[in-house]
A = this chain, B = another copy of it.
Amino acid sequence: MTTRRPRERGVTVEDVARAAGVSRQTISNALNAPHRLKAETLERVSAVIEQLGYRPDQSARSLKSGTRRIIAYPTPVDDPANPNPLMGGFLEAVVAASGEAGYRILLVRPRPGQSQEQALDELIAARTVDGFLLSDVLRDDPRVAHLTAAGFPFAAFGRTAPGQPQSWADVDSAQAMIDLVGLIAARGHRRVAFLASTGGQPWMDDRRDGFLAGARRHHLTTQVYSVPGDDPAGIVAATRDLLSGRARPTAVVVSGDWLTLGVYTAARAEGLEIGEDLAVAAFDDLPITGFLQPALTTVRLPLRRIAEALINRLLRIIEDGVTPEAGLLLPGELVVRPSLGP
């Protein structure tokens, strides 16, 4: 079945103008500056527009105006066998927030053999988008440096360096950890361990720093374990080691929910009941947390608020040319579930 259509020429201003018996400009005005038309004309013209289903050609309009109403989101590369379960929720929030303002999200990715910076340059040079939304931003992210140098609008989920535009929003991981440790201390724990995977991501450092700050504040005895990568076996081994020592901790804070599987496994192997003999808490609130037995205490990321803040800030830059003076930290939400114990 072949459906090759002869590149349909859609309905244009010309058509509408003729049908309404006015000039092309009047049509344009009806859409872009309705106050300039006599109420009666406007009504008549609008009816014709409606009836013909006329929409200004996006490309023509963009060519003229120089604005695309599109935001590029460089999609993080994901392992399809083990995809980031929060990506859908973040995009949901981003699409909702940008759609509200009449912008759409274009998913972009460097072509094979192309660097991140080259991909950005191409999008800028081809004037494909009005700005960039960046996520998983590192402390010294080359993309941020590049966009800053190019003077092109962006907003970052993560944090930028002091000399760079502060158009970012991030989870206040440190504060959330401090709160979490406070809760643990209030429940009488004195020896608390922190278990982290060493990926080098800045947000993981923030979590660790927050943990340490909280522990210091409550005079807790701490122990910090780092395991390479996300290898479950390594985590189980580390946790068993942690739990088999003398003076073992009565609570374990884990840098991310994903690792807790290993912790649960190890605790069982050591004959410890989670929530009874050992309190466990983590971070992220992945969809899995309800599936652990007992359910996991964790910190929920404020993805919706982050997305809204990022889009707001980006549009302020794009439309008003105003770059925020300071970054924005949004609080994580403590979700207390049985793994924390009584």
Listed in ascending order, the chain A residues whose CB lies under 8 Å from chain B are 1-5, 7, 10-11, 53-60, 62-63, 66, 68, 70, 75, 77-78, 80, 82-89, 91-93, 95-96, 99-100, 102, 104-109, 111-112, 121-122, 125-128, 151, 153, 165, 261, 264, 286-288, 290-293, 303-304, 317, 320-323, 325
Contact = CB atoms under 8 A, between A and B. Distances in A.
B58 A127 contact: yes
A53 B225 CA distance: 48
A87 B91 contact: yes
Contacts of A303: 80
Of the listed residues A95, A108, A291, the one surrounded by the most CB atoms of chain B closer than 10 A to its CB is A291
Given A261-B290, A287-B287, A107 B80 contact: no
A106 B106 contact: yes
Tally of this chain's copies:
2
B107 A105 contact: yes
A12 to B, nearest CB: 11
Contacts of A55: 122, 125-126
Contacts of A66: 7
B92 A57 contact: no
Contact of A127 (B5, B57, B261, B290): B57
A11 B125 CA distance: 8
29 contacts: A3-B165, A3-B321, A5-B151, A7-B66, A11-B125, A53-B125, A55-B125, A55-B126, A57-B126, A58-B59, A58-B128, A59-B60, A59-B63, A80-B92, A80-B93, A82-B287, A83-B88, A83-B92, A83-B287, A84-B88, A85-B85, A85-B88, A86-B88, A88-B88, A88-B91, A95-B107, A264-B293, A287-B287, A287-B288
